[in-house]
């Protein structure tokens, strides 16, 4: 896997733009998923993950081939997502929360599976509830918790993604977990 990625990266660096599509294919789901969990909105998640790949392309020269590509692209994507949350804060976007616009979005992803059986609806509502609680976390805890418990990354990987010492990452995970314990526990 890593050898394949290295090869593609070199192709792209050598001027073969088309080869970049293979990188996108390999990482798009992970990037999109992380962006969605941080932002809780499909449109923003798509926007941010596309922007992340565009930035990866334009900054490919700064990518260190000795590191995992996934870590690098996660880093770009999570930074973009957090930036977006911070920019949104002053005029807290009513449209995104009131009336559950994002929930609607969430449902629309399963549109082709209608009608949903009772059990599925309960499951979906549970997912929405958990997602809402994740969204209540301060951004710095949110990323750490998502990377740890949803993406299942190691502490070392999370430290690389967030550009923080492992000890700091641990503290953030603990604080995030503590906050969620009160809401989800």
Q: Is 29 in the site for other proteins (CB under 8 A)?
A: yes
Residues 103-132 that bind other proteins (CB under 8 A): 109, 126-127, 130-131
Residues near 53 by beta carbon (within 8 Å), at least 6 away in sequence: 20, 23, 24, 27, 28, 31, 73
Q: Is 5 exposed, middle or buried (0-12, 13-18, 19+ CB in 10 A)?
A: middle
d(CA 64, CA 184) in angstroms, rounded, equals: 39
- Residue 54 is a binding residue for other proteins (CB under 8 A): yes
Based on the shown chain and the rule CB under 8 A, indicate whether residue 2 belongs to the binding site for other proteins.
no
Does position 65 bind other proteins by CB under 8 A?
yes
Question: Can you list the positions of beta strands (E) in the chain?
Answer: none
Q: Tell me if 38 sits within 8 A of 150, measured CB to CB.
A: no
Q: Which of 2, 4, 7, 57 binds other proteins (CB under 8 A)?
A: 57
Residues lying near other proteins in the complex (CB under 8 A) are found at 14-18, 20-21, 24-25, 28-29, 31-33, 36-37, 42, 46, 49-50, 53-54, 57-58, 65, 109, 126-127, 130-131, 134, 145, 149-150, 152, 170, 173-174, 177-178, 180-185
């Amino acid at each position: 896997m890593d050898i394949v990625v290295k090869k593609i990266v070199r192709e792209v660096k050598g001027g073969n733009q088309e080869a970049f599509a293979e990188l996108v294919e390999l990482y798009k789901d992970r990037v999109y998923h992380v962006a969605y969990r941080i932002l809780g909105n499909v449109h923003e998640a798509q926007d941010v993950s596309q922007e992340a790949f565009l930035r990866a392309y334009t900054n490919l020269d700064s990518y260190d081939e000795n590191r995992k590509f996934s870590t690098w692209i996660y880093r770009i994507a999570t930074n973009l997502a957090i930036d977006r949350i911070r920019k949104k804060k002053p005029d807290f976007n009513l449209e995104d929360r009131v009336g559950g616009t994002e929930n609607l979005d969430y449902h629309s992803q399963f549109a082709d599976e209608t009608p949903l059986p009772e059990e599925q609806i309960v499951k979906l509502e549970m997912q929405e509830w958990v997602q809402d609680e994740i969204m209540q976390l301060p951004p710095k805890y949110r990323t750490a918790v998502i990377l740890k418990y949803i993406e299942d990354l190691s502490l070392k990987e999370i430290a690389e993604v967030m550009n923080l010492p492992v000890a700091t990452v641990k503290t953030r995970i603990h604080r995030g977990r503590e906050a969620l314990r009160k809401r989800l526990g």
